[in-house]
Amino acid sequence: MSAISVGQAVVLGVVEGVTEFLPVSSTGHLKITEGLMGIPVDDQSVVGFSAVIQVGAIAAVLVYFFKDIVRIVSAWGRGLRNREERYHHDYKFAWWVIYATIPIVLVGLAAKPLIDGPLASLWVVAGSLIVGSGVMWAADQMGRHKRGEDDTSFKDAMLVGCSQILALLFPGFSRSGATMSTALILDLDRVAATRLSFFLGIPALTGAGLYELKDALGAGVGAAPLVVGTVVSFVVAYASIAWLLKFVAKHSFNAFVLYRIVIGVALFGLLATGALDG
């Protein structure tokens, strides 16, 4: 019998799609939802399922930013063939995304036993939600929001890319929250910070999903829940991306900060009272 039913896959797909690119931690919300539904959060097949349905959300990014991605990849291809094209910002940006992905891949492989074991605890999620909200608030206050996407540099990409490690090690911190906060500290404006977070997430999350696919299929999750969860996450994530880009163009991150604190405190309460098993 599958460790996750089709009905549960729909719910988790919605949660993944809504939260993957919002700075509120998709991993944290998935673990909370799994706990509320009685699904063991540290089960290897469940961990694999969560990683696989992220591919649906990443596919939404590929579709939403298709023209941008084609432009960047085309510039990269031209630069490989023509030295003069290598001065183009898109060519350099493509390499920056590749380089910025290497640290999270290395840490992910080295720390996988911790990530799938002790660090998968809901207690870690609750603490990371609250601590991450403080980091996000401080970054939004510190940043001068004066640099656009065309002003990004190799240093920006590497620092923002490395910040993904925080979310990898501490579920609840939020990959989007970590990357956006780092970009804001580097004085990028909110839209540029959000778009950079999207682009840097494509290789990292796609790789994680493909890496976990074999474990998800081989450890008790059927193909039907995986397909359903992935498709649902794609549809919901596409709508979430469109909404977020419009939101950050006119608003600060304070609403997300407050939401994270409320969820983190509520989760601590549920764990302390035994309503949820950490």
Axis-axis angle for helices 223-248, 6-19 (nearest 10): 20
Fill in the amino acid letter for 38: G
Three-state SS for 160? helix
The DSSP 8-state label assigned to residue 210 in this structure reads H
Mean pLDDT score, 212-220: 63
Per-residue pLDDT, 217: 63
| pLDDT attached to residue 219 | 55
Identify the pLDDT of residue 214: 66
- The residues near 35 (Cβ < 8 Å, ≥ 6 apart) are 41, 122, 276, 277
Q: What is the pTM of this model?
A: 0.88
Residue 195 tokens read as 């778009």
Return the exposure string of 81-92: e unless at least 16 CB atoms fall within 10 Å of the residue's CB, then b.
eeeebeebebbb
**Range among 2-6, 100-104, 219-223 rated most confident:** 100-104
Strand stretches in 17-160, DSSP E = none
Which residues make Cβ contacts (< 8 Å) with residue 143, sequence separation at least 6? 184, 185, 186, 187, 188, 193
Tens of pLDDT, residue by residue over 54-81, are 889 989 999 999 999 999 999 999 999 9
User: Mean pLDDT score of the chain, rounded to an integer?
Assistant: 90
Confidence of residue 120 (pLDDT cuts 50, 70, 90): confident
Decide if 17 contacts 32 (C-beta within 8 A). Answer: no
| C-alpha–C-alpha distance, residues 74 and 92, integer Å | 12
Q: What average pLDDT score do residues 192-199 get?
A: 94
* Average confidence (pLDDT) over 193-214: 84
| Angstrom distance (rounded) from CA 150 to CA 261 | 33
DSSP state string for 222-270: -HHHHHHHHHHHHHHHHHHHHHHHHHHTT--SHHHHHHHHHHHHHHHHH
How does pLDDT run across 132-188, given as a tens digit for each residue? 999 999 999 999 889 998 899 999 999 999 999 999 999 889 999 999 999 999 999
| Identity of the residue numbered 266 | A
How far CA 230 is from CA of 14, 55, 120, 148, in Å, comes to 9, 7, 21, 32
The pLDDT of residue 205: 81
pLDDT at 179: 96
For residue range 6-42, list pLDDT tens digits in order: 999 999 999 999 999 999 988 889 888 988 888 876 6
Q: Average pLDDT in the 226-250 region?
A: 95
**1 vs 102, residue with greater confidence:** 102
Confidence of residue 192 (pLDDT cuts 50, 70, 90): very high
